[in-house]
Structures are given as structure tokens and as C-alpha cells.
Structure 1
Amino acid sequence: MKKGEKLFVRIDYRNNNKEFRTNDFEEHINYLKKVARERFFIGGGFENEKGGMVIFKANDLKEAKEIAENDTIIKKSLYTCKIYEWNLLLLSEQIEEY
């Protein structure tokens, strides 16, 4: 990663009206692992809320939305998400270029 690059932030919000099954979570994790093999990607769930966040590299907002919309938890409406374009201004010296 380099200062000045754009990343995308996806904030997930749990839809409490939908039933969540174990295999839904497994499908979600498998999809995220696939995405993570292809590009810079970090993600996780919030400890005190039902939701999560991922930060990832994409070519543009259109591609970022496609990545988000192909996640099974979004496709099944188990979660909704918002995508934000994020300009990288500060970067720790310990982080190697990706």
C-alpha cells in the first residue's frame, strides 16, 4: 500500500428479520477468503454490534460494489452494507507495500 491510494470500506449491518444459518456464515467466509487471495483485504466483525467492516482494494467504486454484492450474506439480504471510497493519507512505517 502507498499513501495516496484509494481503498474501499464496506460497513455491514445485520438484518434481524432474516434467519441466519451456519452454512450462511461458512459461505460468507469462503467468499471473503477468495477475495482476500486476489487483492489487499482485511475484515472482521464488531464485538459489541451485529455487523462488521472490510477494507479492500478495488479499481473503482463500481468494482467495489460488485465485490460487496456478490457476498452471499448480502445476496440473501441477511446483511445490508454501505460502501465508502477511502483515501489513504497515513500509513505506518511497518506496513510493507502490497
Structure 2
Amino acid sequence: MKNVDRLFVRIDYTNNNKDFGNNDFDDHIDYLTKISAERFFIGGGFENKKGGMIIFKARNLKEAKKIAKNDPLIKRGLYTYEIYEWNLVLISEESGKL
């Protein structure tokens, strides 16, 4: 990881007051697939709770928020999110074997 890049964690929460349309989730996955081709990116939904988490690289908090705000699920108000800069302290040798 380059020194100029930082890791960010985005926690997503389902907005229970909104209903998903036919293409909402597909649009979300298409957007995230495009973003993941440009940078380190890992994400998924929670098994025991509605919502999910994404870890990704960005130059700064402003760029990280821009990435989050352009996600179709966020733009359409289907999810809300919190975003944190993550200070990675330890990474195991096994992490590359996921």
C-alpha cells in the first residue's frame, strides 16, 4: 500500500423506511465493482444484521466520502453510512490467502 493512500471503513445501515426497486442492488454491485477495479477494496453484507461493511483505499476522507455518496444505495436513501479512517496496525501473512 502506498504511503499516500489510506484505508477507510464504511459501515452501512439499512433504511427500513425505504423499499428496494428491481435494479437497486444490481446498480450498487455494478458501482462497487467499478470502484474495486481502481483500488484496494473488500466488502460484504452482515449475516446476522441488515447492513454491511466496506474497507477501501482512498487518498483522504474527502475522496472516501465522495465514493460513499455516489453509491446508488446511498444516493437513493436506501442505506445510511458511517465512515472512519482506519489506522491499520497489524496484517497477518495469511491475509493474502482469503
TM-score normalised over the length of structure 2: 0.90
User: Which stretches of structure 1, 4 residues or longer, exceed 2 Å deviation after superposition?
Assistant: none
Q: Distance in 1 between matches of 2:93 and 2:6?
A: 18
Amino acid at match of 1:32: L
> Does 1:87 find its partner at 2:63?
no
Amino acid at match of 2:68: A
Residue ranges of structure 1 left out of the alignment (5+ in a row): none
**Sequence identity of aligned pairs in percent?**
68
Give the CA RMSD over aligned residues: 1.7
Return the offset for 1:92.
1.2
The answer to whether residue 37 in structure 2 is matched with residue 37 in structure 1 is: yes
Letter in 2 for 1:67: I
Q: Which structure has more RCO (C-alpha within 8 Å, separation ≥ 6)?
A: 1
Letter in 1 for 2:87: N
Identify unmatched segments of 5+ residues in structure 2: none
What is the 5 A alignment of 1:40-55?
40-55=40-55
2:81 aligned counterpart, secondary structure: strand
Query: TM-score, normalized by length of structure 1?
Result: 0.90
TM-superposed deviation, 1:95 = 4.3
19-28 or 54-63, larger mean C-alpha shift? 19-28
Q: How many residues align?
A: 95
